[in-house]
Amino acid sequence: MSGGTTRPGLDRVPAALRLAEWTAVAVFVIAVYEVIVAGGVALWPDADDAWILALWVGAAVISASGMTAVRGAVRAAFVRFRPSAAGPYATLVSFASGASAAPVEETLPRLAELVARGTGARRAEVWLADPAGGFRRASSWPARTGQSLGVADVAEIAELSQGREVLPVTDGGELLGAITVAAFDDDSFTPRDLLLASDVANAAGLLVRTADLEARLIDRVRAESEQAEMLRASRRRVVAARDVAREQIGRQVQSEVCDPLEALIGRMAGLHEEIAEMRDELPAMIAEAETVITRFRRVVRGVYPSVLADHGLPAALGNLLETVERPTALHAEDLPRCPARIEACVYFCLATMVRGWPDGDERLRIAVTAADGRLRVTLIDSQALDMADVAAPAVLEAVGDRIAALDGTLTAGTESDGLHLVIDVPATEPE
């Protein structure tokens, strides 16, 4: 660069490094002569001139052979605390070796900083080609705040400000982006600066492609995670709506069918005493009405049993298993009350499966326990070996979907005492 502006970059660092090197060398030489020559004279004050000359020669040889090692040690220590002192190309090599391990959000800003410091630019920016067309500013040094800027083409990038050099970044002949460097006022870039920036741009193709692909992958994973969460929320809403609909149908059947039939039985019992000629017909009518009521109660129990809401899961399961032909033993003691959705899920999943369970001589064993914030139901059939032996695929799919909507699991396995089917759901409402 020309002009009076002092460029912040790497130009001042080599001078400081050289000063440190030669200072260390001077101290080393003085120390060698002090130890060998001055020390030898002090030990042998009566030595002749030949002996003193030998000491001087030895000190000179040690000083000459040790200078390179001293300069190397000083340079290594200096670069360790100030890496940019190694020069732009050495810094570029260091950057390339660590770029693959750096996160994508750090790689491009480091690339912009490298170019700016190596060329002494006022600003450096990295632009990426947008799949939809045009270019977008991915990073800059010094860092800028605000929304990422987008332009139509490389020519528009060059027109954004004066004193800007635009260096395309390509890989395999494909234009992936560009690196721009802006000089200070009244300054221009030297051929060395432009050569460094061009070398960086030529070497950055694979790096830019990798960063772009990683950014797209992160966006894709984020979008799929959001879709998965939306699907889980939708499934929960469907299950909740189904439970609400069941409860509404149960109340409607109870109020519009069961209650009027029960009132009719009372009226018919009164008529039995008043109308003697209908003595033989009324008992049959009462028995028929009671049969209808029993059937409707079974329907209501299948839709949404009132005992589940009033008395909890153990009582509802006890009533359910009374209607199952297969002998069944239920163990569900000391269970706390859970949210209605949780209890309804367990009840209807068991109802769906045990009503179609194959006949057998051995008892089904069902155990319901609550521990560590989870509700666990274990169904054991000593006569079955696989899920396909006891439930159809459509039944298992429906039950699995309902359990998954509550962030629960349905697992099955064969043990020494038969098939174990386990339903595990949270004992509280999932967030």
Ordered domains of the chain (ranges, CATH): 12-86 (no CATH), 88-203 (3.30.450.40), 318-426 (3.30.565.10)
pLDDT (0 to 100) of residue 270? 66
pLDDT of residue 5: 41
423: CB partners within 8 A, 6+ apart? 346, 349, 350, 376, 377, 379, 403, 408, 409, 410
- Residue 6: what pLDDT? 41
**Per-residue pLDDT band at 121 (split at 50, 70, 90):** confident
pLDDT computed for residue 1 by the predictor? 42
Tell me, letter by letter, the H, E, C secondary structure of 391-417: CCHHHHHHHHHHHHCCCCEEEEEEECC
Say yes or no to pLDDT of 347 above 70.
Answer: yes
Looking from the CA of 413 toward its CB, the CA atoms found within 13 Å total 6
Nearest-angstrom CA–CA distance, 165 and 181: 5
Q: Mark 59-84 as b/e (b = at least 16 C-beta within 10 Å).
A: beebbeeebeebbeebbeebbeeeeb
Min mean pLDDT across 20-24, 45-49, 121-125 is at 45-49
- For the chain, the distance separating the N- and C-terminal CA atoms, rounded to the nearest angstrom, is 62
Provide mean pLDDT across the span 329-357: 85
Residue 182: pLDDT band by 50, 70, 90 thresholds?
A: confident
For the beta sheet containing 123-129, the strands, ordered from the edge strand earlier in sequence to the opposite edge, are 150-151, 135-141, 123-129, 174-182, 164-171
Is pLDDT of 185 > 80?
Answer: no
Give the C-alpha distances (Å, rounded to integers) separating 35 from 27, 29, 62.
Answer: 12, 10, 11
Q: Tell me which of 94-108, 215-229, 242-256, 405-419 is least confident.
A: 94-108
Question: What per-residue confidence (pLDDT) applies to 423?
Answer: 92
Q: How many CA atoms lie within 13 A of 417 on its CB side?
A: 10
111 burial type by CB count under 10 A (0-12 exposed, 13-18 middle, 19+ buried): buried
- Most confidently modeled of 97-106, 108-117, 273-282? 108-117
pTM of the model: 0.41
How far is it, in rounded angstroms, from Cα 229 to Cα 274? 67
Listed range (268-277, 313-322, 421-430) with the worst mean pLDDT = 268-277
The Cα–Cα gap between 223 and 229 comes to 10
Residue at token pair 């009462």: 286
- Highest mean predicted confidence (pLDDT) among 75-79, 171-175, 221-225, 426-430: 221-225
Give the pLDDT confidence score for residue 9 in this predicted structure.
43
Distance CA 47, CA 41 (A): 7
Take residue 75 and report the two structure tokens written for it.
């340079």
* Position 367 confidence tier, pLDDT thresholds 50, 70, 90: very high
Band (186; pLDDT cuts 50, 70, 90): low
pLDDT value at residue 422: 92
The overall average pLDDT reported for the chain is 75
Contact 151, 187 (CB under 8 A): no
Q: Tell me the residue ranges of DSSP E strands in 274-342.
A: 328-331
Token code pair at residue 264: 């009719």
Strands 123-129 and 174-182: antiparallel
Q: What is the pLDDT of residue 366?
A: 92
Are 111 and 128 in contact by the 8 Å Cβ rule? The answer is: no
- Judge whether residue 83 has pLDDT over 70: no
Read off the pLDDT of each residue in 128-153 and give the average, rounded to a whole number: 70
Cis ω on the peptide bond leading into residue 142 (within 30° of 0)? yes
> Which residue has better confidence, 147 or 50?
50
Percentage of residues in the chain having pLDDT higher than 70:
74
How confident is the model over 83-100, as a mean pLDDT?
52
What pLDDT sits at residue 309?
76
In the predicted structure, residue 202 carries a pLDDT above the cut 80: no
- What span, in angstroms and rounded, lies between the C-alpha atoms of 254 and 202? 79
Mean pLDDT of 356-360: 82
Is residue 2 predicted with pLDDT exceeding 50? Answer: no
